[in-house]
A and B are shown apart, each in its own frame.
Chain A
Amino acid sequence: MSALIELRDLSKIYFRGRQKLEVLHQMNLEIEEGEFLALMGPSGSGKTTLLNLIGGLDSPSEGTITVAGQRIEGLGQSELSRWRASNVGFVFQFYNLLPMLSARRNVELPLLLTRLPAPQRRRNAEIALQLVGLAERAAHKPGELSGGQQQRVAIARAIVSDPKLLVCDEPTGDLDRRSAAEVLNLLQNLNREQGKTVVMVTHDPKAAVYATHTLRLDKGALAEAAEASE
């Protein structure tokens, strides 16, 4: 296995007026292809910040980010948009589905950025829904689905254009135990069977158990976590 993601001397500084807030300080990290990494750490420690940098939603103040051999830290807004469309799938805490669209059309959204013809897009969306076990719910709107089901639709959306990398920010943060377990099992399956590299932020030590590897972020630096206990 080779490193899919490589962070070198990564710093992120936020400015609030005159105040300088260095959330990440000269961080180094390698994530192997096929890894399922859980990122933990106290609130405000910079987990979301780090995840956004890895997913190409934000640019670092210093340092380099290499994903699948491509340097992305210097890309402009629109280049980053294009890069995200074909390389990363996002899963958010609050699902972020479009409430007006059916599950299938939500899943189809990333495919609108490809040249696939409409019937092919539709078929791919249905396959992705099948993969998350919601084939019969394709016509339902998000409001007609439970939280766990909505998150699984969001995962289908994240994988529909077949990216190597899934980036998940507290994907079970809004779910009950059972739904959370379903979502985590799904992510684990995608990791094991489809070879997706998964980076997941979580507060829940039980969620971290599904990962192959857990890191703790604190005071701008990373540390290996003690095995699944906290």
Chain B
Amino acid sequence: MFTRLNQIGALLTMGLQTLPQRKSTAGVVVIGIASVVAVLVSVLAIAQGVERTLGDSGRNDTAILLSSGADDEVDSLVSRADYDAIAGMPQVATAASGRPLADGEVVTAFPARFKNSSEEGSVTLRGLGTYGLAIHPSIHISHGRTFRPGLTELIVGAGVARRFRGFADGDRVKIGNSFWTVVGQFKSDNVHDSEVLADVRTVQSVMDMGNDYNSAYVRLKSADELQSLEEAVASNPTLHLETQSEPEYFAAQASGLSAALTVAAYVMGIIMACGAVFGAIHSLYIAADARRIEMATLRAIGFSPGSVLVGFLIEALFLAFAGGCIGGVLSWLLFNGHVVTSMYGGMSQVVFQLDVTAHLVGLGMVWACAIGLLGALLPALSTSRRPVTEALRG
């Protein structure tokens, strides 16, 4: 006699061959599952983009010092005296000139107009010191030149130039009551890409900020010196500062945001998935119900209940798989390589690059198959559990 496997194969072939004739029922299942996967994959891609931009950058041998309790640079204050004390510490590397490789920096935000809408967003202006570009080696001038100390000149991150109006070379940018000339553009693989940079002294004086900084950046003699610097700062009673490595700081900035987005992705994904699971269960139930007599007839003819059940489940899995593929492709088409902006530090927009990775699509497929199985299992089980005589009565 014939094996189970052959029976399942025969039923499955039959099921798949007749699929075109069941376009509408099958279509409802496929589209439902495709939309869940599209939403889930897209939102997760956003979360991942955020994490990569904020979380995976910075140098281990660069320390950032903020006032105790400040979560980010905007909330922090580092006085001139604090800065001098830090710069004099032995853990700090020295520049070719013999002076310590350390800088005080200021950050402030100003409104700017988006390119593709009439809405206003917010851009961060960072004041860099003498060693700014040495301390932030991720920053590469892509065209034009860098700003000159003492002049109201600035350079623009690629992310800002892409998103906002009025940041082309030679443009004059109004910040507060002052006007700044764009003299160049730069690229950076971290948050600086969404900033504009100028000379710290000029920013302090033009913006009436006094002599204080928001943060101090120092290049360490080596990454191993971080702990010793941390201890030196902590043991100095006049300093109320916290020391972090640059990656630690970026990661801390990212975690709130990307965790929130990841949670949002899952909450949205799960809500959509619930809807789609019930939709899929419903449509599969109707499909199974319409074929109850068919299944009973097959069993009467001599097909085993198990193979009728498994054949039906594999057919549902096939539909789910198709839905998952469509959903994955859809989110890839819609989002891959695209950028979104998001608030950063409560003040400025940061631009994120989205990658719809194979890993994310794979995750979506797992979800799709789980939904398909769950949706098909209930009606198929209830049908195959009934005695064939009862099932035949309809």
Chain B contacts for A58, CB-based, 8 A: 387-389
Asked if residues A81 and B392 are in contact (CB atoms below 8 Å), the reply is: no
CB-defined interface of B276-307 with A at 8 Å, one 1/0 digit per residue? 00000000000000000110111111111110
A113 to B307, CA, bound (A): 12
Chain A contacts for B293, CB-based, 8 A: 94, 96
Chain A contacts for B297, CB-based, 8 A: 92, 96, 98
Chain A contacts for B301, CB-based, 8 A: 84-85, 90, 109-110, 113, 157
Q: How far is the CB of A111 from chain B (nearest CB, A)?
A: 10
CB-defined interface of B297-336 with A at 8 Å, one 1/0 digit per residue? 1111111111000000000000000000000000000000
Q: List residues 321-369 of chain B with CB under 8 A from any CB of chain A.
A: none
CB-defined interface of B357-394 with A at 8 Å, one 1/0 digit per residue? 00000000000000000000000000000011100100
B138 part of interface (Cβ distance < 8 Å):
no
* Identity of the chain A residue whose Cβ is nearest the Cβ of B302 in the assembled complex: A85
Q: How far is the CB of B177 from chain A (nearest CB, A)?
A: 77
Knowing A100-B21, A101-B18, A113-B7, the reply to whether A81 touches B387 (Cβ < 8 A) is no
Q: How far is the CB of A158 from chain B (nearest CB, A)?
A: 9
B162 part of interface (Cβ distance < 8 Å):
no
* Identity of the chain A residue whose Cβ is nearest the Cβ of B22 in the assembled complex: A100
Asked if residues A90 and B304 are in contact (CB atoms below 8 Å), the reply is: no
Number of A-B contacts (CB under 8 A): 70
B1 part of interface (Cβ distance < 8 Å):
yes
A98 to B294, CA, bound (A): 6
B223 part of interface (Cβ distance < 8 Å):
no
A110 to B299, CA, bound (A): 10
* Identity of the chain A residue whose Cβ is nearest the Cβ of B4 in the assembled complex: A78
B10 part of interface (Cβ distance < 8 Å):
yes
B260 part of interface (Cβ distance < 8 Å):
no
Q: How far is the CB of A202 from chain B (nearest CB, A)?
A: 18
A115 part of interface (Cβ distance < 8 Å):
yes
Chain A contacts for B21, CB-based, 8 A: 100
B234 part of interface (Cβ distance < 8 Å):
no
Q: List residues 97-122 of chain A with CB under 8 A from any CB of chain B.
A: 98-101, 105, 109-110, 112-115
B14 part of interface (Cβ distance < 8 Å):
yes
Contact partner of B1 (CB less than 8 A), chosen from A55, A77, A109, A113, is A113
Q: How far is the CB of B289 from chain A (nearest CB, A)?
A: 14
Asked if residues B304 and A78 are in contact (CB atoms below 8 Å), the reply is: yes
A52 part of interface (Cβ distance < 8 Å):
yes
A85 to B6, CA, bound (A): 15
Chain A contacts for B10, CB-based, 8 A: 112
A82 part of interface (Cβ distance < 8 Å):
yes
5 interchain pairs (CB within 8 A)? A52-B389, A86-B302, A98-B14, A115-B2, A157-B301
Known: A81-B305, A84-B302, A98-B294. 5 other contacts (CB 8 A): A48-B389, A55-B300, A84-B300, A90-B300, A114-B2
